[in-house]
Amino acid sequence: MPDLAPQRSEAILTTVDGSPRDGQLADTAQVEIRSAKTREDFDACVELQRDTWGRSFSEVVPVSMMQVTGKMGGICMGAFAPGGEMLGVVYGVTGVRNGELAHWSHMLAVRPRARNMGIGKRLKLAQREALVAQGVSTMYWTYDPLVARNAHLNLNLLGASIDRFVPDMYGASDSDLHRLGTDRFIVRWDLNRESTAVASARREARARRGGSRPMLGIPGDKTGIPRGLDAVEVVIPSDIEAVEASSFDEALEWRHASRRAFQRLLDGRYEVSGFIAGRTHARYVVSRVAGR
């Protein structure tokens, strides 16, 4: 894992506010989370990738690679409905970074009708449990900073942290999900820290404290970073896909504005310390690093 560069970010997971969606499963209590084992399981993983990133997406992880990954300590797990249908998948590889075992979670996807029911979180927790049993202490993955539901999952529900921001991490892509470019946060998850529930609850509580903070990242706003402040907020839409569907140009303005904000802030002086979800807009809390 020399430079932490997977092929794509983990994908669509859940809504921010917990509202139901048309066609959603009525109950996921019987959904089984387990490792992919058979050829049919791995074929289902490939099909789910195509359903998520597009039928013409050329960077699908093939069956042979997923089979080998599992034999070498990597993770390929699915969420299976009682009838056997694969509803979600998580896949990653394990290697050595800075002299220690580390896992790169390459993809996570959940079918639309099974989203917003905790399946994405269950897959991540099962992935974590399997890795801890192997002696792995750190997991990395990426996500698009503009996708609020993934920020909520990663930062608030799992308690992971932002390692760094990488503009246009993957360059050009033939996936419809990447039309706005591929700016990414690299996420770092300490698998041996305090319980996920405790860590995430504390982070969300800290983010909501502190009263009014200056806001950056709004399209058309050229405001600079105020001097001497301990924290600012970077605003994003709560549903960037809805914005993109309504106006691609407006969505692209959000991309450019957020990129400017994160490039200026996350240069060693500030770090993402929290995330606050909302119905129309969400906010990253970005705090000054102690001593800088």
d(CA 84, CA 214): 50
**pLDDT at position 2:** 35
DSSP assignment letter at 258? H
| Structural contact between residues 4 and 186, judged by C-beta atoms closer than 8 angstroms | yes
Cross-strand partners of 95: 102
Tell me if residue 109 falls in helix, strand or coil.
strand
More confident residue, 27 or 50: 50
| Structural contact between residues 196 and 152, judged by C-beta atoms closer than 8 angstroms | no
**pLDDT at position 29:** 75
Measured CA distances, 83 to 80, 88, 158 (Å):
8, 14, 29
The pTM of this model reads 0.83
Is the domain spanning 32-288 CATH 3.40.630.30? The answer is yes
Measured CA distances, 284 to 201, 206, 266 (Å):
16, 12, 12
Given a cut of 80, is residue 226 above it in pLDDT? Answer: no
64's CB contacts (< 8 A; 6+ apart) are none
DSSP assignment letter at 188? E
Given a cut of 90, is residue 44 above it in pLDDT? Answer: yes
Query: In 10 A of CB 50, how many CB atoms?
Result: 12
The token pair at 34 is: 């387990």
**pLDDT at position 6:** 37
Residue type, 60: V
Given a cut of 80, is residue 178 above it in pLDDT? Answer: no
* Lowest mean per-residue pLDDT among 50-54, 113-117, 194-198, 268-272: 194-198
| pLDDT tens string 197-222 | 555 555 555 555 555 789 999 999 87
